[in-house]
Amino acid sequence: MATEATPLEAAFEKLNTHIKNQHHKKALKACDEILALAPGDEDALRCKVVAHMQLSEFQPALALLNKPPLAGQELAFEKAYCLYRLGRLDEASSAASARLAAPDLEPEAASSLLQLAAQLDYRRGRTRDCINTYQTLVQQYKAGSLELKTNVLAAYVAAGLAAELPDLMAALGVRSKDGFEAAYNAACGLVEAGQLAAAEYELRQALKMGRETLFGEDLAEEEVEDELAPLSGQLAHVLGRLGRAGEANEIYDKIIRGSAPVSDETVRALAHNNAIADAPHRLEPGPQNRKYIASATKRLEALVERPGGGGAAAAAAAAGADDGGASGVGTLAAVQVVQRQAPGAQPSNV
């Protein structure tokens, strides 16, 4: 005759069910039930950290990681990822680098940390270091997911190497129809090559695929448009270069002044820059519009000066603004896949 489960065993079973079903809020409550029965239980605390991370609650996750009994344990990825998502990029890089230097690091853990290190290099404008890290992942760790390959493409775009994308995509076995991020980065290569009509087609296809993908993830319309803002901004840039200023301006205005502001400051900054570059053609002379241009330029400068605030893309935008708005920025912020997830941070079954 089966013995009845103890309250602690029942609580762990409940937690396990919630983890399998990806019910992260319920998992948090189950963790608290366990901790009420067994204060300091490390399995419950680890699961609680990951549940917070899955809910994008990075501050409480970091607080748990920084105090006993989890402090000092081998949870470098989780800590570095929380710091990264909180915008504390230098601290995140230090945490990841310290663990990567450890001689006892397992290959799977090293791969996750290297992917995060590449993201940190990308965010801080260290695009060459980012590319080198991705090359290490591909060559030494045989990492070959579509997400990682897409991020390699994004790093090349951010490094000003978009012209190399056609050959790189062929070498990696990536096609633009593989996903909206890949299609977007392929379009950036076409922009760099001056093939603007083809770039417009790729961007419209990328936006179509992106909407289908993101609506399929049950995102609200505002969230979908926010995720796709880099693509929309690049489409506006292409339309402007094709002489279709009216269509371009509608998109810029939506990014800059829309009712639901775009959350990515780099995208907003680049849209401001391209709007400034075209300002003599789209704005009537007058103090109000001069004030608008001056204000937008200050926002660009502030973004570049802030640590981690836009990296190489924002710096390029500021350079365009400093030259009096003579030309727009050719490539907006490249789209990376890993920024939409917490790689390696999935809770394991208890």
Domains in the chain: boundaries: 146-338
Cα dist. 142→30, 135, 181 in Å?
A: 37, 10, 21
Average pLDDT (148-154) is 88
Mind listing the pLDDT tens digit for each residue in 300-315? Answer: 565 555 544 444 444 3
For residue 339, the 8-state DSSP code is G
Q: How far is CA 7 from CA 46, 202, 281, in A?
A: 20, 57, 71
pTM above 0.85, yes or no: no
Q: Is residue 317 pLDDT above 50, yes or no?
A: no
Whether residue 12 has pLDDT greater than 90: yes
Encode pLDDT of 255-296 as tens digits: 887 777 787 777 888 887 877 776 554 445 555 556 555 655
Look at residue 146 and tell me whether its pLDDT is greater than 60: yes
Alpha carbon distance 95, 185 (integer Å)? 30
- Under a CB-based contact definition with an 8 Å cutoff, are residues 132 and 157 in contact? no
CA–CA gap between residue 200 and residue 137 (Å, rounded) = 32
- Beta strands (DSSP E) in 57-123 are none
Q: Quote the pLDDT of residue 228.
A: 93
Worst-scoring range by mean pLDDT, 148-152, 161-165, 308-312, 344-348? 344-348
Could you say which architecture CATH assigns to the domain 146-338? Answer: Alpha Horseshoe (1.25)
Question: What's phi and psi for 5, nearest 5 deg?
Answer: -65, 145
